[in-house]
Structure 1
Amino acid sequence: MSKGIHFEQSITELEEIVRQLEKGELSLEESLKQFEKGISLARRCQNALNQAEQKIETLTGTDSNIELDSDEQTSD
C-alpha cells in the first residue's frame, strides 16, 4: 500500500511542477531545476506503472490480452 501512496504523492507533486512551469513565473535556473525534478518524478511513476502492469500480467497469466469468458462476451 505504501507504494501506491508514494505513486499518488509523486503524481500530485508532478502536477504542481507542471502548473508552476506553465505559469512562466520561475527564473530560468528554477525552471530547469523543477523540470529536472519533474522528469525524475515522471520516470518514477512510469516505473511504478510498469511494475503494476507486470504484476497484473503475472496474476492473470496474460500478456495484456485478457480474454473474456463466453458468458461475459456480448454481441449485437
Structure 2
Amino acid sequence: MPRKQVAVTSDAQPDFEAAMVELEALVQRMESGELSLEGSLQEFERGVQLTRICQEALKAAEQRVKLLASDGQERDFPPQEDA
C-alpha cells in the first residue's frame, strides 16, 4: 500500500502526523543510497527539523494529559518498561 504524500510549504509547520509521514519518506530516500552528499545533508537537516516538531507536539500532548488527569492532580508519566 503506497504511503500518503504530504506537501508541506516552508511557510506552514506540519502537524505531528504530517511530520511523521514526511520523516518516514525522508528516511526511505536516504536509505535508498541514491542521494548525493549535498542531497543527503539537506535531507538530514530537514529530518532534524521534523524530529523537533514531533518532539514539541508530544511534549504539548503530555502537558495536556497532565492537566486532564482524572483527579485533577498533575503527575509525571511512569517510565516505560521494555516489553
Asked if these proteins are the same fold (TM beyond 0.5), I'd say yes
Moved segments of 4+, more than 2 Å: none
Report the Cα distance in structure 2 between the residues aligned to 1:63 and 1:27, rounded to whole angstroms.
44
Unaligned runs of 5+ in 2: 1-13, 79-83
Report the Cα distance in structure 1 between the residues aligned to 2:77 and 2:47, rounded to whole angstroms.
28
Report the Cα distance in structure 2 between the residues aligned to 1:64 and 1:41, rounded to whole angstroms.
24
Q: Identity percentage over the alignment?
A: 48
Larger relative contact order (Cα-Cα within 8 Å, sequence gap ≥ 6): 1
Larger Rg belongs to: 1
Higher helix share: 1
Paired residues for 1:4-23 under 5 Å: 6-23=15-32
Structure 2 length as normaliser, TM-score?
0.68
**Count of residues in correspondence between the two structures:** 61
**1:63 pairs with 2:76:** yes
Cα shift at 1:63: 2.1
Report the Cα distance in structure 2 between the residues aligned to 1:53 and 1:6, rounded to whole angstroms.
16
The root-mean-square deviation of aligned C-alpha atoms, in Å, is: 1.3
Cα shift at 1:29: 0.2
Unaligned runs of 5+ in 1: 66-76
